[in-house]
Amino acid sequence: MRFNHYLPKTKLHQSGLSLIELMIAMVLGLLILAGVIQVFASTQQAYRTQEAMSRIQESGRYATEVLSRNIRQAGYKGGCATNIDINILLDETHSDYDSAIHTLGTGLEGWNNGSGTYAASMGGYIPNTDVLLVKHAATLSGVTAKDHTNANASAIPLTDTSNIEQGQIIMVAEEDACDIFQNSNDANAKSLNRASPGGMVPGNKSPAASNLFSKAYTSNMRIMLFQSDLYYIGASIDPNNTALRRIRFGGSGAAVDEELVDNIIDMQIRYGVDTNDDRRVDNYVTANNVADWDDVVAVRVSLLARSEHANILPNNMTGIPFDGGTFNAPAGDRRMYQAFNTTIGVRNKLP
């Protein structure tokens, strides 16, 4: 006898998801995606914060280094003794001659929260920031004299081409003498000439009997480049930012105004003055309270730097110590700020 067995068929494959299962899967996917986005956003914010901090520190340190190097050398006369007067062979009668920028003088001068007498030369000066003028003859020319130079000579022979551009102001010095003049030769010449062709500013006095070098110099004379730099806070290449800028007067041709460090928004300077002739600081004062710039033996510089971009921080920075007070960021700014302070001794005036 044969039996027919009818067994139920087993489903081997799932045919779909229920609505509840689909909704649960979507919720889990959204939670995972939200977590990924949160991690990415946090990482991106941490990167922006770290980058802003690094840029600020880089800008502040570089700015203080540039200022410190120049201030330390202020008043250096190329190696002649401090009690020796500089013989000025520049044309002091020229309409554009300015003793403040074309000769060494005290080596330092400043203006408190004002642009001084050089506002027309400044690129977008920021009001209520300090201005500093530093002068020295500490930059090596890289050339040496070939032979001695008579006091009545109009040129200094060199061992090789000078590579010094026409118009560069030169300081020549030995221990007992120093002279300042403007080179009238081009960079390919094997001599430095103190004649006065047209077009140079301020030019030189005519090399006549009444306009001699201080002495007959030997071939060991030091030949230095005179440098006259005006530092201020002005407009940056980025119209939304400000920068530490420099006008260089002592070089060839017209004065050069250039941006040094961007995102520096303020500079305040106090001058350490020696009031009892012991060549030590007795008090730090602002520029308008300096009675005699010869008394300045140290300079205290305060710079305020900020991040390039806004909305770096969740809230505005407030109460930042700066120049004896505090700085509060503008409302809605949310940039990162940092103050940099350094005190520099003027080496040529210290014990």
Check: CB of residue 241 under 8 Å from CB of residue 308: yes
The predicted pLDDT at position 325 comes to: 93
- Spatial CA neighbour of 87 closest among 204, 254, 198: 204
How far is C-alpha 51 from the chain's CA centre?
22
- Spatial CA neighbour of 54 closest among 312, 327, 349, 326: 312
| Rounded CA separation 188/192 (Å) | 10
Coil vs helix vs strand at 119: helix
| Rounded CA separation 272/243 (Å) | 25
Q: What is the DSSP letter of 8?
A: P
The strand pairing partners of 264, in sequence order, are 305
The predicted pLDDT at position 250 comes to: 64
Token pair of 275 as six digits: 């009031």
What DSSP string describes 28-69? Answer: HHHHHHHHHHHHHHHHHHHHHHHHHHHHHHHHHHHHHHHHHH
The predicted pLDDT at position 12 comes to: 57
On the CB side of 336, how many CA atoms lie within 13 Å of its CA?
17
The predicted pLDDT at position 53 comes to: 84
87-88 and 177-182: which strand pairing? parallel
- Spatial CA neighbour of 320 closest among 332, 331, 336: 336
The predicted pLDDT at position 331 comes to: 86
Cis bond upstream, residue 202 (ω within 30)? yes
Give the phi and the psi of residue 325 in degrees, each rounded to 5: -130, -155
The predicted pLDDT at position 182 comes to: 93
Token pair of 190 as six digits: 């094997």
The predicted pLDDT at position 46 comes to: 67
The strand pairing partners of 111, in sequence order, are 131
Is the torsion defined by CA of 129, 108, 348, 104 positive or negative? positive
Could you give the C-alpha distances from 225 to 49, 104, 267, in angstroms and in order? Answer: 43, 12, 27
Domain locations in the chain as residue ranges: 50-72+263-351, 78-260
| Rounded CA separation 349/226 (Å) | 19
Cβ count within 10 A of residue 327: 17
Strands (E), 91-153: 108-111, 131-140
| Rounded CA separation 18/176 (Å) | 102
> Could you tell me the mean pLDDT of each successive run of 10 residues in the chain, 351 residues long?
55 66 81 77 69 87 95 93 92 89 91 89 92 95 94 95 93 95 94 85 86 94 95 92 90 79 96 92 96 95 92 87 93 90 92 73
Token pair of 308 as six digits: 């390039």
Cis bond upstream, residue 239 (ω within 30)? no
| Helical ranges in the chain per DSSP H | 19-72, 99-102
Q: Which residue has the tokens 């330092």?
A: 108
Model confidence, pTM: 0.84
